[in-house]
Each structure stands twice: as C-alpha cells, then as structure tokens.
Amino acid sequence: MNQAHYVAELLFDGPIAEEYNLLHRIAPEIPDMSRRVGEFVGAWAAPAAGNLELLELGTGTGVTTAYLLHHRPEARITSLDNGPAMLEQAGRHLAGAVAQGRLRLVESDALSYLAQWPTASLDLVASAYTVHNFLQGYRGRVFEEIHRVLKPGGVFVNGDRYALDDSLQHLRRTQDEVRGYFREFLAMDRPDLLEQWVVHLFSDESQDHIMRLEPALARMAEAGFQPVTCHYREGVNALVSGVKPWP
C-alpha cells in the first residue's frame, strides 16, 4: 500500500458541506445513528470516577455532538473536523456548550490530532459516519492511535456505514440508495447536490475506501481492542465498539 493511502482527505466542502443538513432527507437513518451513539455513551459505565475526557472524530454539523453533550453532561468534549464549513455550522448550533467550556471544536484531521494526545489520556472516543470516509491505510492507523490514547477500560464507539459482506446484496442496496438520491434531490430542484452526493458515494464504494463490517472489526481487534462488538445493524448502518483491555 503506497503512502497515498495514509493521507487525510477533505471530502466535505462547498455545497455538499453547506447543505449537509439536508442529509436527513435522503438518509434518515443517519441522525438516528447519532442518537444511538449518544445513548451508548450515556449508558457506558466509566471504569473510574471523575469527569470524562471524550474525543469525537468528525464533528459535522454537530448532530452527534449534541447527543454526546446531552447524555454525558459531566464530560469534557473535544470534537474535531477537517472541514471548515462543517465546523462553522457546528459552532453556531453548539455555541452555548462552547461558551460554557463543555465543548472545544478543533479543525484538524483525525490522525494528526490523535498523534498529539498522550498515551492513555482519554476515556472515550466516539464517532458517527466519519471513519468510513477514511482511506484504508489511514483508517487502520486511526484505529491504532485511538487504542493508544484510550485509558485501559476506555472505549471507542462508532456508528457508521459498513458495507455488506455479501457484495451482490450490497450492490443492490447501493443502487436503491442512488435512486433515492435522484428522487429527493430532483424533487428539491437541487441537481447540484445530487451530483455532489453521487460523486461522494463513488468515493465510499471505491476499494480504497469501502469499509466492510467483518474486516473492520478484525482490523480493530488487530489494533488491540478486546472485545470488539457489533451492537446494532440495519442494512449498511451499524453501531460497533471496541474496548482497550487492562494490561
């Protein structure tokens, strides 16, 4: 695998970022997964008392971040995104939490930022619909860095797009997904966004990016997470977690 597979990409810029809030029209399961990530974090029993240090990968417009803030009011949350347009929207939506010191928003790619954190310094890392955007090699390194920065007993939870392991079944679902894009965006008279989302889907489905469930879980286990668990799956949407075991 060449070095190009280990770089960060800016996949949400321009109209697709500025109108990201319309995503719920074409994929209502995505905000639902943000809710599931928040509920998982809220129900998680921290191995030690005290304020939680929580890192979110991929702020987006702040939908998942808002659930994290709601379910863990005692947590100190840092949320990062490498898309300025996304962070600008999140900053508006979550201005109160930022002003209260409960939330810090950072413009950075995941791997560069994780590399700055000391080993065993975070209680929890959460993400929703971000990791599938990473190139394969970059994603593997992110898993390794998440494992490094978590405290023993800490957890990584990810609600995301996980391609079906049955490639023919996955193809049929993807075709249905594209039909939905055409239906919704043409009804809104937004062919510009239709183009952007179809192009983005091509990226998701490319061999350099596609994240299938079983290989992804195996890669997390290879990075040191134990156990690795899939808690929920509906089509290509799944909620998974991995725990950093005690030495």
pLDDT at residue 59, as a whole number: 95
Contacts of 237 (CB under 8 A, 6+ apart): 29, 30, 33, 159, 160, 161, 162
- Inform me whether the pLDDT recorded for 1 exceeds 70: no
In this structure, what token pair is assigned to residue 210? 């596609």
Task: Decide if 194 is inside a domain.
Answer: no
Task: Decide if 191 is inside a domain.
Answer: no
Give me the sign of the Cα torsion angle 204, 209, 214, 217.
Answer: negative
Tens-digit pLDDT profile for residues 82-137: 988 889 989 998 999 999 999 999 999 999 999 999 999 999 999 999 999 999 99
Ranges assigned E (strand) in 112-149: 122-128
Task: Decide if 119 is inside a domain.
Answer: yes
Question: Mean of the pLDDT values across residues 36-60?
Answer: 93
Task: Decide if 174 is inside a domain.
Answer: no
User: pLDDT averaged over the chain?
Assistant: 89
* pTM listed for this prediction: 0.86
Q: Which domain holds residue 46?
A: 3-163+209-243
Question: Mean of the pLDDT values across residues 186-200?
Answer: 85
Ranges assigned E (strand) in the chain: 53-57, 76-81, 103-107, 122-128, 150-161, 228-234, 237-243
Tens-digit pLDDT profile for residues 155-180: 999 999 999 989 999 899 889 888 88
CATH number reported for the structural domain that contains residue 20 in this entry: 3.40.50.150
How many folded domains does the chain comprise?
1
pLDDT at residue 113, as a whole number: 97
3-state secondary structure of 121: coil
For the chain, give the number of residues. Answer: 247
Task: Decide if 23 is inside a domain.
Answer: yes
Task: Decide if 213 is inside a domain.
Answer: yes
pLDDT at residue 100, as a whole number: 96
pLDDT-derived band at 26 (thresholds 50, 70, 90) equals: low
Task: Decide if 45 is inside a domain.
Answer: yes
pLDDT at residue 16, as a whole number: 44
- Inform me whether the pLDDT recorded for 10 exceeds 50: no
Task: Decide if 64 is inside a domain.
Answer: yes
pLDDT at residue 142, as a whole number: 98
pLDDT-derived band at 203 (thresholds 50, 70, 90) equals: confident
Mean pLDDT is lowest, of 7-11, 93-97, 214-218, for 7-11
Q: Which residue has the higher pLDDT, 71 or 1?
A: 71
**Inter-residue contact 125 to 57 (CB < 8 Å):** yes
